[in-house]
Each structure stands twice: as C-alpha cells, then as structure tokens.
Amino acid sequence: MDAITTRYSKLIKAEALRLGFGQCGISKAEFLEEEAPRLEAWLQSGLHGTMSYMENHFDKRLDPRLLVEGAKSVISLSLNYYPEEQQTDPEAPKLSKYAYGEDYHQVIKAKLTSLLEYIRKEIGEVSGRAFTDSAPVLDRAWAKKSGLGWVGKNSNLISKKTGSFFFLAELIIDLELEYDHDVQTDHCGTCTRCIDACPTEAIISPAVVDAKKCISYLTIELKDEISPEFKGKMVNWMFGCDICQDVCPWNRFSVPHTIAEFKPKPGLLQMSKSDWEEITQEVFSTIFKNSAVKRTKYKGLSRNINFIKQV
C-alpha cells in the first residue's frame, strides 16, 4: 500500500471516531469464501425459521461488488449502545437494551451519510453505499475481517476492548484503502456460559444459532403465535433478549454509550409490570415513536406480554 491509501485510511478512521463510532476497520471488497458454505448450510438446515428474506440475494450477501459497482473497500464500524440505566421493576417484562432509545437504523444511517460526505469532501468523487442491518450484507463477517473482533459462541461479534453491546454497520466504496487484518484468534476459549445460559437452547453449536428457538426471533421476527413449547422458557423477555450477552465475561468491559439518541425514552425504564400488562395502542404509539420496537407493532408486543404472563 502506498502513502496515499494509508493517509486516506487514517483520515476515514479519525472521522469515524469523531462521529461517535467505537471502532472502524477496513477490509478488501471480495467474495467471502469462508462464509459461503456456512451460510448455505444454515439456510439448508432451515435454522432461519420464517425469515425467508435470508434466502434472497445469496450471491450479494457474499460479494459486496454485486452491491456497489467497482467496490474496492468495506469500511466496518461499531456503535456502542450499552446503557447506563436498566429497567427498575424486576418483575416487569423485559426489553432488549438496544431498544431503549431511538431506532438505531436511523441514527446509524445519518452517521454513515456524514462519513461518506466527509470522504467525498476530503478525497474526491467516491461512489459507495451505506448499510446497517437492512440489506444483504454479512455484518459480522466483514467486522471480523476488518479486525473489529471475533465471532463468539453466541454468534455475536465480540471485541476484547468493549465486549459485544454494539451495532455494526458498513460503508462499501469504490476506493482502494489500507486493509486491516482479520481477527483469527477466538478468545472465547473453553467458556460456554452463553450456551449454558440460553433458556431455549437456541445455540446448537459454537456460533450456530437455531433462530426458531431464539427469544429475539420469537418476540420480534415471528409473526405467528409463539409455540406452547416455549411456555416458562422466555424468562420474561417481551422484545429481544440479552441473556447470551449479559453472561459473557467479555462484557465486563462494556462502558455506557454517549449517543444522545440512544438515551431511554422518558419513563420507559420506570414502567412497572402492570403498566406493561395494561399498555394501550395509544401509549405504545407515544412511547415507541421512532423506536425499533415499532417493528413488532402493538399487536406483536401484546402477544409477547400475554404469552410470558401465562406461566
């Protein structure tokens, strides 16, 4: 790599950190050879449940050059969402930490747009697209390849510095940059805390999750009724689940985020068990305006609350 690509890479990383991203790594835009057989096996085994969209654009998921013409680099970024506060009523139905504040898609998209504008201003005409969990991009594979962390036994990306309570996003651009090294070492070692703690036994082998058993899938992705086999196993989760992250030893390094948009909605964490059980459409619409929880809609959240109540 020459001095110019090194300088451009340093500029981009510095601006990413200034915008509030926790980590920024860069990898070459190429076919994900290692990931291809894993993704194919996971889909063929039906472990994606009703998420049929996972079957779409198989080739694009594995090759960013099919998403961005002339793509040369994948810039991977992480954004911390670990909260300072938790829900106050220990008996209240639980909400995953990432959903306390505003919808992360909008927050991250705005930051990615700013980063791309900065690149164009400082470097020149660069074509590219921003991605955050809403397109056929394998976030964890690119983050690992870019040196941000390794894929843990719970299938989350884990960083030695900050644990795993962060979102992942990418900019795929047609500019050649200096590339970081893949994190080859698995720092989970012999630890199986996440596998042992999962109440529905969704982690069927290291880094392989059966989505059909995952509480996050059951409370967010699944549109049908939740199977009675999960009665008494949901551990009071009504939207998402943080168990496999909460028990991970690496998350002792998590520090509260500084992103204003991720601050909990006023009164959200103070809602009691009865507040949740009596929630109306009107309250739902008010408290979850611009929130990722809107994805379940009022009907879905009510279904989840009623299901965990019937233990």
Burial class (CB in 10 A: 0-12, 13-18, 19+), 174: middle
Residue whose pair of structure tokens reads 């305006």 in the numeric block: 289
| Inter-residue contact 189 to 146 (CB < 8 Å) | no
Q: What is residue 251's three-state secondary structure?
A: helix
State the angle between helix axes of 3-18 and 104-123 in degrees (0 to 180), rounded to the nearest 10. 140
| Residues annotated as catalytic (active site), given as ranges | 133
Nearest residue to 25 (alpha-carbon basis) of 125, 161, 218, 152: 161
Q: Residue 251 is encoded by which pair of tokens?
A: 């998350």
**CA gap 164, 251 in Å, rounded:** 6
| Inter-residue contact 104 to 45 (CB < 8 Å) | no
Q: Residue 271 is encoded by which pair of tokens?
A: 């809602």
**CA gap 128, 174 in Å, rounded:** 6
